[in-house]
Amino acid sequence: MADHLFKHLVVVKFKEGIVVEEILSGMEKLVSDIDAVISFEWGIDIESLEMLRQGYTHAFVMTFKSKDDYNSYLAHPKHVEYSAIFSQVIDKIIMLDFPAVQSKSPP
Amino acid sequence: MADHLFKHLVVVKFKEGIVVEEILSGMEKLVSDIDAVISFEWGIDIESLEMLRQGYTHAFVMTFKSKDDYNSYLAHPKHVEYSAIFSQVIDKIIMLDFPAVQSKSPP
């Protein structure tokens, strides 16, 4: 079996009054600074019913070549520094980390 | 601004005793049958602390060219049929739907 890319998925609700743009630009800078992150996509929910999104508003998906690369990202001093800030601005969070099964690929 | 790809993110915990493999192969068949889905990736969490994944185990990410394509997927009879089954096997679910900002792309 081919190696799977490793995905780090984060879904959050920010605290009231937080300037989310600053947090997001910090995150974009973080992933651009750390080579282990090979791609980063994020978005703000615009569609789901409240009962389905349960207050969560933002989704972030980072992709790594391997779990080892993900671990090196976690241990990176810039990530450690950013996490300390991030943990203070979130109301709630869900995080899943998984080897990605690519079931349908773009043609 | 360029059109964003539209992402449909689903995070679930299945009910006890469910044969998850059957549900997953049904989902893979569904997305392979519906052209509006341009890519589909999923995975089973292997890494997060329980306090961070909060009981959720599976993540599914579908990508569409546009929100219109996503809407046509939602309305597709095969999706409607599958949803009826899926809603019976999940313990809890979070869903976010968003235009994806591609902040870092693979080289």
The CATH number linked to B19 is: 3.30.70.100
Tell whether the model's pLDDT for residue B2 goes beyond 80. no
DSSP code per residue over B43-68: EE--SS-HHHHTT--EEEEEEESSHH
Residue B104 located in a structural domain? no
Residue A76 located in a structural domain? yes
Residue B106 located in a structural domain? no
**Structural domain range at position B29:** 6-99
Residue A106 located in a structural domain? no
Residue B58 located in a structural domain? yes
Number of domains in chain B: 1
Are A10 and A60 contacting, i.e. CB atoms less than 8 angstroms apart? yes
The token duo for B101 is: 């900002």
pLDDT given for residue A50 in this prediction: 80
Residue B67 located in a structural domain? yes
> How many of the other CB atoms lie within 10 Å of CB of A58?
21
Find the range with the poorest average confidence among A52-56, A95-99, B21-25: A52-56
> Tell me: the pLDDT tens digits for A27-44?
999 999 999 999 999 999
Residue of B nearest to A67 (CA): B47
Q: What is the pTM of this model?
A: 0.92
Residue of B nearest to A27 (CA): B103
Residue A73 located in a structural domain? yes
Contact criterion met (CB < 8 Å) for B97 and A45: yes
Interface of A with B in 29-88 (CB under 8 A): 31-32, 37-48, 52-54, 56-57, 59, 61, 63, 67, 70
Strand-pair partners of B11: B59, B94
> Tell me: the pLDDT tens digits for B42-98?
999 998 778 888 899 999 999 999 999 999 999 999 999 999 999 999 999 999 999
Residue B51 located in a structural domain? yes
pLDDT given for residue B53 in this prediction: 86
pLDDT given for residue B69 in this prediction: 96
